[in-house]
Amino acid sequence: MVKPEASQAPSRDPVKLNEQAEQALAHLDNDFISPRMLCSLWRIGETAMVFAAGAFSWEWRQGLSETGPWLPLSSALAGSLIAAAIITSAHAYELAFLRAAHRRIWRVVAGLGLAIGFVAAALGFLAPGTLAVFPFATWFFLSLAVIVPARLILGLNLRRWARNGRMERRALIVGGGKNAETLIRRLEMQPGNDIRICGIFDDRDDRRSPPLVAGYPKLGTIAELVEFARRTRIDMLIVTLPLSAEERLLVLMKQLWVLPLDIRLAAHAGEMKFRPRTYSYIGSVPMIDVVDRPLADWDAIAKRALDITAASLAILVLSPVMALAALAVKLDSPGPVIFRQKRHGFNNQPVEIFKFRSLHHAMSDPEAKQIVTKGDARVTRVGAFIRRTSIDELPQLFNVLRGDLSLVGPRPHAIHAKSSRDETFTEIVDGYFGRHKVKPGITGWAQIHGWRGEIDDPEKLVRRFEFDLFYIENWSLLLDMYILAMTPISLFRSKSAY
């Protein structure tokens, strides 16, 4: 993770895609529904339907007031949760099942019947005197009257969405040749397959890796794959190289792990066999999970909900501080109050962040070609104070509401940022762009541990990078809340913030 040799330093020139890859990009829009997210939402919705049907059935029944509301409502809740658990264990919330609901709807019927039967048996044991007033048959048939038509309609829509590309997991194949062809043929044979192969990328020439494999074109090299995956939605990379090609696999992983994607190693042709838990499956095709995308699906939703709630509250509470800071900046030196700068965002895409201006306007440096150092003459009197206390960062709360930043994450660095030794950050840290696999944040794990401010020593950036990776690999809502709680305390350790 230390600075690589000069011959290995990443190129500063942007990677250009060939015409064929550009055409493939033009056919990939981002109007999609995540299959995993839809299945989760459907389970929640169906559980709510069963609960509502039970509560309505008992409310409708005469004599319910004698038992009080707690017993029917708690029984309806228990029944709905048990039904969800049984139907989940029967794999009836998986995408392939939801697509073909008309063929295997009996599993849902049986699961619902078992759940309601269990509740009836439990009530018969715990409260035998109330068993007669509970309308279990009404609950069962009312639930089915809602669930069955809804599943049939969903199945029709899923098949239609699969045809028009709105319900799919997009995959890129890494490595061509015979292994890639075998994998593609097996994937195409899987019933209910939701994988859409968007192209093949390989560094080998056309002799060793044909330009067309099983009808899919080779769109470029591995470096071009990284650029391709940053310009459209890709969900998964499937590496088809054999496990015996260890050295080449390590080189590939070093290039690919910076992307916020699932990386899978195709194991269908592997001679080595592992324990069953080692594999995940697409249909019956075995895969070895190499890298999982951070903050996928519900994790991303939970983090976004925290961002919106906490940022809105912070703006409300800190608005007097921001108003005073804006007034002080305006009175201290001529120029705009807000400073705008392009920085690296999620998946290495540029975002424009807001700060209170802390430099003299005539000396402002939007491209961060010269890092701010101790005693820097460009910093205004007010600027020195708001930089040291991080008040200059408060306008970034509006970046959070816009979705450019998160409250917590790796700090966004300027696109052309350099150290005080005139080294780019990609020259100092090998794999530097791996910190962009999640949205950058106003504060972060590195910041609360004192790794903020001037990069006057390459080791400081290396340490900051290591803390950022720890955060990405160990994210949780509790960790975010801990970082937010510790941020005000960490501001007292501001010796490196100028």
- Given 233, 263, 291, which residue is the final one in a domain? 291
**285 and 425 assigned to the same domain:** no
Of 454, 457, 458, nearest in space to 498 by CA: 454
Instruction: Scan for tokens 């019947």, then name that residue.
Output: 113
For residue 497, being part of any structural domain is answered with no
- Return d(Cα 48, Cα 59) in angstroms, integer: 16
**173 and 159 assigned to the same domain:** no
**269 and 333 assigned to the same domain:** no
Instruction: Scan for tokens 């004599």, then name that residue.
Output: 63
Give the model confidence (pLDDT) of 449-492 as tens digits: 887 766 666 777 788 888 998 999 899 999 999 999 998 887 77
Q: How many domains does the chain have?
A: 3
- Given 259, 291, 323, which residue is the final one in a domain? 291
Query: Which two structure tokens, joined as six digits, stand for 256?
Result: 């690919």
**330 and 269 assigned to the same domain:** no
- Given 291, 320, 351, which residue is the final one in a domain? 291
Instruction: Scan for tokens 């530097």, then name that residue.
Output: 432
Q: Model-level pTM?
A: 0.74
Write b or e for each residue in 259-282: b if 16 or more Cβ atoms lie within 10 A of its Cβ, otherwise e. Answer: bbbbbbbbbeeeeeeeeeeeeeeb
Secondary structure class of 118 (helix, strand, coil): helix
- Return d(Cα 399, Cα 439) in angstroms, integer: 11
**108 and 187 assigned to the same domain:** no
Instruction: Scan for tokens 């890298």, then name that residue.
Output: 291
- Return d(Cα 281, Cα 80) in angstroms, integer: 29
**159 and 172 assigned to the same domain:** no
Type of residue numbered 284: S
Kind of pairing, strands 350-356 and 169-174? unpaired
Of 396, 490, 400, nearest in space to 439 by CA: 400
Of 405, 427, 432, 415, nearest in space to 346 by CA: 405
For residue 223, being part of any structural domain is answered with yes
- Return d(Cα 202, Cα 200) in angstroms, integer: 7
Contacts of residue 405, Cβ cutoff 8 Å, sequence gap at least 6: 345, 351, 353, 396, 399, 412, 439, 440, 441, 442
Specify the pLDDT at position 136.
85
Following DSSP, what letter does each residue of 261-316 receive, concatenated? SEEEEE-TT-SS---GGGEEEETTEEEEEEEPPSS-THHHHHHHHHHHHHHHHHHH
- Residue 266 maps to which CATH number? 3.40.50.720
Following DSSP, what letter does each residue of 192-203 receive, concatenated? T--EEEEEEE-S
**193 and 47 assigned to the same domain:** no
Give the model confidence (pLDDT) of 181-224 as tens digits: 888 988 888 776 778 889 999 888 878 888 888 888 899 888 89
- Return d(Cα 162, Cα 236) in angstroms, integer: 17
For residue 1, being part of any structural domain is answered with no
**11 and 146 assigned to the same domain:** no
- Return d(Cα 401, Cα 320) in angstroms, integer: 19
For residue 495, being part of any structural domain is answered with no
For residue 339, being part of any structural domain is answered with yes
For residue 496, being part of any structural domain is answered with no
Specify the pLDDT at position 493.
62
- Return d(Cα 265, Cα 242) in angstroms, integer: 9
Instruction: Scan for tokens 């205004």, then name that residue.
Output: 380
**303 and 427 assigned to the same domain:** yes
**216 and 353 assigned to the same domain:** no
For residue 498, being part of any structural domain is answered with no
Secondary structure class of 365 (helix, strand, coil): coil
Cross-sheet strand order for the sheet of 212-213: 212-213, 216-220, 195-201, 169-174, 236-239, 262-266, 285-291, 279-282
Cβ atoms of 152 and 101 within 8 Å: the answer is yes
Residue numbers of the chain with a pLDDT score lower than 70: 1-14, 29-33, 60-68, 128-133, 165, 192, 268-278, 283, 367-370, 373, 417-424, 426-428, 453-457, 493-498
Helix, strand, coil fractions of the chain, as percent rounded to 5: 55, 15, 35
Specify the pLDDT at position 3.
39
Type of residue numbered 159: R
**127 and 196 assigned to the same domain:** no
**242 and 352 assigned to the same domain:** no
Contacts of residue 375, Cβ cutoff 8 Å, sequence gap at least 6: 498
Query: Which two structure tokens, joined as six digits, stand for 38?
Result: 């839809």
Domain with 134 in it: 35-164
Query: Which two structure tokens, joined as six digits, stand for 452?
Result: 């903020």
For residue 202, being part of any structural domain is answered with yes
- Return d(Cα 43, Cα 40) in angstroms, integer: 5
